[in-house]
Structure formats: C-alpha cells, structure tokens
Amino acid sequence: MAAEDEPQNTYFPTVFSLAKGGLYGGFFNGAFITDPNVAALIMDYRWTTSSLGTTPATTTTYAFPQSASDYKIFPAPNTVDPVSHVPINDVQKEAVLTTFGLISSYTKLNFVEAASASADDATFRFAQTTSGNGGSHARFPTNEGAWEGYRSDSRDAGDNFLGTNGSPPARYFGTDEFNTIMHEFGHSVGLKHGHDPSIHGALGASRNDNEFSVMTYASYLGSNIDKGPTVAVEGSAPQSLMMYDIAALQLLYGANFDKVGTGATYSWDANTGQESIGGHAAPFTGTTVSNKIFSTVWTQGAAATYDLHNFTQDQVDDLRPGHWLRFSDSQLADLNRADPGDPAFKAQGNVYNALLYNGDVRSEIADVIGGPGNNTLIGNDRDNKLIGGSGNDILVAGSGDDILIGGPGADKIYFGPGSDVARDNLGDLNGDIMFNFGFRASVDILGSRITRDNLAITPTKVTVGADGVFFELDGNFASGGSGGGLIISARGSGDSSYTTISHVNFLDLHKGVTVDRSAINGIANQNFLSGDGTVSFNVEMKSAQSFFANTLGYYKVGIDGTISDVHILFGNTLGTASGTTVNLIAPGFGERIGFFLIQNGANTAGTLPDDLSFVTPGTANASNINQGIAPTLVSASHGAVSGVDIFHTFANINPNAATQVLSGIDHSGRQMQIGFEDTRNGTGDNDFMDVVIGVHINHNDIFIL
C-alpha cells in the first residue's frame, strides 16, 4: 500500500437505493462490539439482501470488466476511473480469487462470477487504473450514513480500481501488492482503515500493524504514517487477512464452521514456508520470495493439530485466541522496508490465532506438537493435547481437559482448572515438575507400575521415585487440609502396564445444597474404573434421596469407545437398602466401567430384562462414546426404551452433553463414591444426592489421605 487509498464519490447527485449486482447496503451497528480492535475496522455498513436491510448477503457476484463501456450505468454518466480503464491482468485475477477464497473460508460469503460486468449483474468489479499517483482504491457497500469519506453511491459501490501498488508479481504471496488487493477488497465488503480514529476509533497502539490487520497503513508497530503507508520487506507482507479483519468480517457476514466434525493437521515447510493440511498444500496459500511464514489461520471448526516437530529452535506456541506461535525465527516477517533485518521490526510470530466467534471454542486449535528445542506450549479453552518434544519444555494447560506430554527432558508442567492429565513413560518423566497438582489433575505413567513405596509425601510436594527416576508433584497434600487424597491406580503388566496418580477430593454432599459449578468433576479418575483382566469391582448403594424411583446400571467401554455388556444394578434405587452390594463383571485390559441412570426407570421402563444394549440412534450398531451422540437403550426382547432421560458418567453422551455426576473419596479413604443428579443439569437442585454409590476394588489401588 505504497500510496494512500482514500475513496472517491464520483456522482452528483448521489443515489443510494439501487441494487448493485442484486445486493444493497444495510446498516450494521458496530457500537455494540465489545472488542475495540474489532470495532475499529467496522464502518457500519455491509451488503444485504434488501435496501437498508438486516439480512447479510451470502452469495455475491463479481466481474473483471474488459472495457470502459462495461461501466456504463444509468442514470448517470461513467465514473472518472474507467476513463483510464485497463483490464486487470492474470496475476491480479489470481490474487483477487485467492482473496475471495480466504474470505469464503472465514465467513458465509460466497463469490460467483457474474453474467456480465454491468452494475446490474456484478456487485464487485475489478479494473486497473492509471489515474492518480499509482495508488489503488475501492468503493464501500452502498451507504449515505457513514462518515463522509466512506459514503458510496449505489452505482459503483463495491468497485475496485488497482493502481501500480495493486499489481503484484507472479509470486504474489507476501507482497505489498497482494496486501493492497486484500486491503482494498476489505473496504468493498465493509471494513474501514484500522488506523482511522473516526466512527469507532482506531486499533490500539499494540495492535495497529499488519500483524493484526491488513486494513491499517502501519506495516509495523509504531509506524509513522503521516506521509502514507509503511511497507514490509518484499516477501514479508501478510499472506492472509489477519485476526481483526477476520473477526470483523464474521460479525458482518457470519462465520464458516463447515469443517466441524473433521480433523486437520497443519504444518509448515521449514525451508519454503509452505502451509500444508494433511501433507498437501493448504488452499489459498503459497510461498514468498523470502520463504517467510506470516498468516492467521481459521480452521472452520476442524479439530486441528499444529505439527511443528520439524522446527528445531526453542518455540513459544500460544494457542489462545489473539495470540501467536513463534517457531521459526529465520522465517519471521521483516515489517519495515526502510530498515530491513532490524530485530525491532520483526513480526512477533509466524502464525497468529483467530479470535473466537461469539465465544465458540470450536475454532480454537486443539493440539500442538513441538520440536526438539526447549519449548513453551500454552493451551486454550478447548481440550488440548500439548506435546513438548525432547527438550526441557514448559507446558501450560488452558481451561479445558488437557493431555500434557513433555517427552524427554526436564519439563515443567502447569495444570489448569480442567481435568488435566500429564502422560509419559517413566523415563521421560525424569526431572519433571508438575505444578498446581489438585483435584482435577492426574499423571499417567506408561509402562510402569508404581506403588505407595515409590511416593515421598510432604505437605506441599509428592516426590515419585522408581528405577532411578524422580519427578515432583507440587500441590497441597497436608493430611486432612487438602480436602482429599491421592489415588494410585496400577494396571497391566510388562510393557502394557501403566499407573495413574491423581488427587481426588472428598465427596461431601448435603441434601438440597447445590454443588458449586467448579466442583462438578464427573469421574475424577477414570483409570480407577479401568481394568486389566485381573481387577474386579463391586458397587455399594450408599443412599437414594429423590422424587424419582430411578434405575441404575453399568456397562463396559472398550479401548475403541464401544459400549458392551450392559446390565442393571438396582432396578429401583428408592427400594434398595443402603449397603446393598453388587459384584461387577471384571473388565478386560483397557476396558472401562461406565454407569448410567434411567430417570424414574422403575415406573417408566419397568423391570428390564438382562438383554440390554446401547446403540447409535437409528441403527443396530453398538454405541461408541467417542461419537458424542446420546445412545438409545434397547432390549433384545422388548425393543427400545424410549421417552425417558438416561444419564451417563460420560458427559459427552448425555442430553446436552452435560455432566450429571461428580465423584470423590470417602473420609475413610477406602472407596470412590459417585453422586448422580437425576434431572438435566441446571434444572434440578444439583445436589448430586439423588443416587450415591461407592465403588470398591479387589486390587492394590491405594487411597492416601
């Protein structure tokens, strides 16, 4: 953007009520946007399906006019620009189509080539212009209400005129010319200058550069733009629209979540910088002349993994929205062409994270794999898997239920508020320190069985030592003062053995007293309910205090998540005496025990036969908890059990995916207890005392108070 691009109103009198390519300008109130940096890009108009309408466009049309006569529009004469009209060249067309593809991947906007280049058919038109100082400019959506410089006549709204600063070379990614094309088209769909304080203010000082928006004239933080835009070193301009651009466009036109339910592994080439998804070049991406990596990624809701194992330096990879990943210093963009190579003007990251759309965490990156350096990996609100690699890593859990794998090296792991698991083989845990080890955290030690003799416990630290390996769990382990105790669950043998150490709270429940939302933990230690062929369980009825005569059952969950061996434990929990005990069928290696409650099952389902199964709705296939779909209970002799709520200890297959149980240990430290809520979470008293059971084990699992 080496020249300024102030838009021009070329008609007098102006017209604001005509359709342009079948679309109109409609008002959007940016005053209600809570993020000031997103609001800073909104000029308060967008394309809608009716004049001054509220329904945003989804399908738009475009054309590449071939002559000035294509701009002949009634009732006024031609604009000034077609006087110097030149059709855009093939590289410009490709760059424009790439811009369309990027915006379609972010939003619900689709772009269709128009039947003609007339204003009747094409909302967006692109041509070169030789007028002025070689700069480019574009028309905003039709409006007469925005700040005067942003008003746009119906007859040329959406038109783009590209000067020399909008004519990129064949290898256009990372060029200022491609950045100009994205910038100008941003105007055409309703974005204003990020540096302009009018309407909703300007981008904040720490966000006013091309790292965060292509709509600002500042290529680097602190740019002096009094004489016009600053530019990056060739190859170091943005390769995509950036986080605030994407967020603003999504507020105007909705967000694209078309990839929800799929997985995607993103990677970048350590030599060329090419972005790939699943080993193939990602759509609407390319390489720069200097092999830089400088873009923002929107996953469209796919469960995305960033695989960065081929970058050997010390990485800082922060998965939180609005933050960034720095994994290749040699491929950081140089943002100041006037002072190339100065570290002060390097981009802060290689890849930037998009902001959430209306708080929807499905757009967040799920997993990251670091390289062999000493990496810092930071999770977000989604359930993450952070894999550090072979260095001395720092892994910081977010607020989701995270899996933290430090790998070889002396790692520091920080547990968050979710149900986090640190998982590694015993040798790779050597020298690790785990902080904030509390009621929701656990450690999976793969390939080893650990006993009480391997633990040295102080009020603030547990040191685990076995086979010359030592690692630490830091927390509050004072007897009685921690509100709970440790569970050691050892399973399997030889290479298939594993041990889970977790800190589990006491289960203190009171009838009619709502459990604090932060304490609703589901099953605190799922590995305690796992088997290896030698472990068996029994279940004791502790109490049932409910309006409903519930039915309680259990099943096995296979290694692949398939539910099998469904049985009833207590047909009527209100009619079952406290202390009644039932032995469970021993689960095999890797199988887990799950429990389910049929709300008022004794009255609505009756006495159920022992021929039950859970199936995927609409099929005869055994249900799988990994599907995240509430299963259907079926009796082989009586058919489906319908018209009742069934709640499971696995939240993701419950109605509304709600957590319906919490768990803990009793004060004697001899059993795990599980409390059920028999109405949908949030609709009852949420005291989790409707049914309470205790689970005993015949094995050497140890509860340490």
Average pLDDT by stretches of 10, the chain with 705 residues:
60 82 96 97 97 97 92 54 78 98 98 95 93 85 87 92 95 98 98 96 98 98 94 98 98 97 96 98 98 98 97 98 98 96 96 97 97 98 96 96 96 93 97 92 94 91 95 80 79 92 87 84 86 93 96 97 97 97 94 97 95 96 93 96 95 91 85 94 87 90 74
Indicate the pairing of strand 159-162 with strand 124-129.
parallel
DSSP state of 272: T
How many angstroms separate the first and last alpha carbons of the chain? Answer: 66
Closest by CA position to 501, among listed 445, 447, 461: 445
Contact (CB, 8 A) for 405 and 386: yes
pLDDT, residue 8, reads 57
How many other CB atoms sit within 10 Å of the CB of residue 556? 20
Contact (CB, 8 A) for 585 and 554: no
Query: Got the DSSP string for 471-502?
Result: EEEEE---TTTTSEEEEEEEE--GGG-EEEEE
- Residue 603, φ and ψ in degrees, nearest 5: -95, -35
- DSSP bridge pairs for 556: 564, 593
pLDDT, residue 214, reads 98
pLDDT, residue 6, reads 60
Pick left, alpha or beta for residue 347 (phi over 0 → left; psi -120 to 50 → alpha; otherwise beta). beta
Q: Is 639 helix (H, G, I), strand (E, B) or coil?
A: strand
Query: Got the DSSP string for 304-367?
Result: EEEE-TT--SPPEEE-STT-EEE--GGG--B--TTSTT-GGGB-S-SEEEPPPBTTBGGGS--E
Residues 6+ apart with CB under 8 A from 330: none
CA angle 121, 127, 133 (to 5 degrees): 145
Token couple for 358: 């209306």
pLDDT, residue 78, reads 46
Contact (CB, 8 A) for 160 and 111: no
pLDDT, residue 146, reads 79
Q: Is 427 helix (H, G, I), strand (E, B) or coil?
A: helix
- Residue 663, φ and ψ in degrees, nearest 5: -145, 165
Residue ranges of alpha helices (H) inside 476-598 are: none
DSSP state of 624: B
CA angle 363, 183, 281 (to 5 degrees): 50
CA angle 622, 634, 608 (to 5 degrees): 135
Q: Is 675 helix (H, G, I), strand (E, B) or coil?
A: strand
Q: What are the C-alpha distances in Å from 317 to residues 308, 368, 702?
A: 10, 8, 37
Separation CA 613–CA 619 (nearest Å): 12
The predicted model scores a pTM of 0.90
pLDDT, residue 612, reads 97
Contact (CB, 8 A) for 319 and 376: no
Token couple for 29: 């109130």
Residues 6+ apart with CB under 8 A from 53: 24, 26
Instruction: Give the helix/strand (H/E) hosting 106.
Output: helix 90-106
Separation CA 537–CA 7 (nearest Å): 74
Query: Rounded to the nearest 10 degrees, what angle do helices 90-106 and 176-188 cross at?
Result: 60
